[in-house]
Amino acid sequence: MTDKHKLSSIKVKGFNLWSHVGVLDHERLLGQSFLLAFTIWIDLESAALNDDLSKTADYSHAIKSIQQLSLEINCLTIEHFSQLILERIEELYGAVPIQVTLEKCSPPIDGFNGSVSITRSRNLHLL
């Protein structure tokens, strides 16, 4: 395992997604907008010193994979959606520390014009 004192983070934020997630039938039928931020912690020292792409986590792979996932799923909760995102990131990069924040941009609640988000993580004990 990598020396945890050498871990750095790669953070992706402002990631817009469209997905069919929600308790109400029309949310799952029509879909809606979500905003995602995720962070992974890995040892970036070799990539930084040697300008070596093979020694880092190519975040474009995660972005493309999560975009595809968001178009394929149909579920009730953002909790489940976030679970699938965590699993997808872990499939790509292994058991590294991961944190995701998934925001439902316009929940259909009368009189409410804000957003709702959840933050979940995996393997943070490795930090």
pLDDT, tens only, 71-118: 999 999 999 999 999 999 999 999 999 999 999 999 999 999 999 999
Select from 33, 7, 48 the least CA-distant residue to 104: 33
Query: Tokens at residue 20, please?
Result: 């069919």
CATH 3.40.1050.10 fits 4-126, yes or no: no
Which has the higher per-residue pLDDT, 1 or 119?
119
pLDDT reported for residue 127:
92
Using pLDDT thresholds of 50, 70 and 90, give the confidence band for residue 2. Answer: low
Cα(88)–Cα(59) distance, integer angstroms: 12
> CB–CB of 122/38 below 8 Å?
no
Which of left, alpha, beta for 33 (phi over 0: left; psi -120 to 50: alpha)? Answer: beta
Over residues 47-63, the mean pLDDT reads 94
pTM score, whole prediction:
0.93
Q: Locate the DSSP E strands across the chain.
A: 7-21, 32-43, 74-75, 98-104, 116-122
For residue 24, pLDDT beyond 70: yes
pLDDT reported for residue 6:
84
